[in-house]
Amino acid sequence: MSYGAVRVPLLAVGCVAFAAAVGCGNGDEPEWRGSGSAPPAAPRRVNLDEPALGLLPPSYGHVGVVVRERRVVVPAPFDARLLERFVQPGDEVRQGQPVARFDSESVDRSLAVALAAVTEAEAALRVAQVEVEQATGRHERRQGRPDLFSAEQLAEIEAEVEVSRARRESAEAQLAATQTAAEQARAEAAKATLRAPLDGVVDQVYGSPGMYDTRGAPVVAIEAGEWHVRFAAPPEATVGLSSGAAITVTFEDHEPVLGFVIYASPELDPRTLLHTFEALLCSDELPAGTPVHVLAVPQLAEGEPALDCPGSPEE
């Protein structure tokens, strides 16, 4: 086949492609003629009910989880048997409210021993105080009659006064030490009634009454603060997800919720090869632990009001 025979079809295909690119020959699309600049972009409104465009694909299926800002696990105060638990998941609690009670027999014994030591130390201090008073009295009497006592006898009574004072100081120190130990034992015994460390909602309980817990074992988990969502995304889907970027969170049984990124990890997690994120959600009441889908909100067109919610990050 000759070169001339191929040239005509190629030119025809090129014309068709060029016509499609510039919109010529299509009466349904307005013709745009410019001097090299791009056509003006039509403003886009944000609709939280529709999947986001551009930043995360509509098919993005990574699941985030709704959490509270803070989650505190209240541990067992000492090795003991759990006698009662006063709360269940979902219960609201106030700071200082009892949430569980442990068997306090062992710590009660320790407290009794500590209080007995305080009583003994108090008695020892009273004895030392009497010795000081007696030695001081003898010293004053001898000083008043120097002609009746030799210099050696006067020196002996002065030494006796110093020794009695030293014994009193030792007794005072011993009493302070036993009082401190008693306060610690009293505080330990008070821990038998486990109390909420903050206002919040019970998220989880561990074990059951009758079980033996070791010191530090989890008993109750309490969540508090604002609602957040934690999620992860691959590198190719993180464009625009910097701190302060808007997102939407979709639920199965809840209206979509607007949120703002408050943390974006700068590096990939070596185990998952994903970037991790945390976002503040614009809602006061959400189901904790709920798996959700996280979508990025398209950037607003120029002149559109910025999205905001109470407590959103300041620019």
**Nearest by Cα to 233 from 54, 48, 57:** 57
Torsion of CA 214, 217, 219, 222, to 10 degrees: 150
pLDDT digits (tens, 9 = 90+) for 175-195: 999 999 999 999 999 999 999
If you write DSSP's letter for every residue of 224-258 in order, what string do you get? EEEEEEEEEE-GGG-TT-STT-EEEEE-SSS--EE
**Mean of per-residue pLDDT scores for the chain:** 77
pLDDT digits (tens, 9 = 90+) for 220-269: 999 888 889 888 888 877 776 778 888 888 887 778 888 898 988 888 88
pTM over 0.85: no
Say which residues have a Cβ less than 8 Å from residue 294's Cβ, sequence separation at least 6. Answer: 56, 62, 64, 229, 231, 233, 247, 248, 249, 277, 279
In the chain, the percentage of residues whose pLDDT exceeds 90 is 35
Which pLDDT belongs to residue 297? Answer: 72
60-69, 73-82, 122-131: range with lowest mean pLDDT:
60-69
pLDDT digits (tens, 9 = 90+) for 35-73: 444 444 343 344 444 444 344 454 454 678 888 888 899
The β-bridge relationship of strands 98-102 and 193-195 is antiparallel
pLDDT average, residue stretch 206-219: 92
Spatial distance between the Cα atoms of 221 and 291, rounded to a whole number of angstroms = 19
Q: Which fold has domain 72-102+193-221?
A: OB fold (Dihydrolipoamide Acetyltransferase, E2P) (2.40.50)
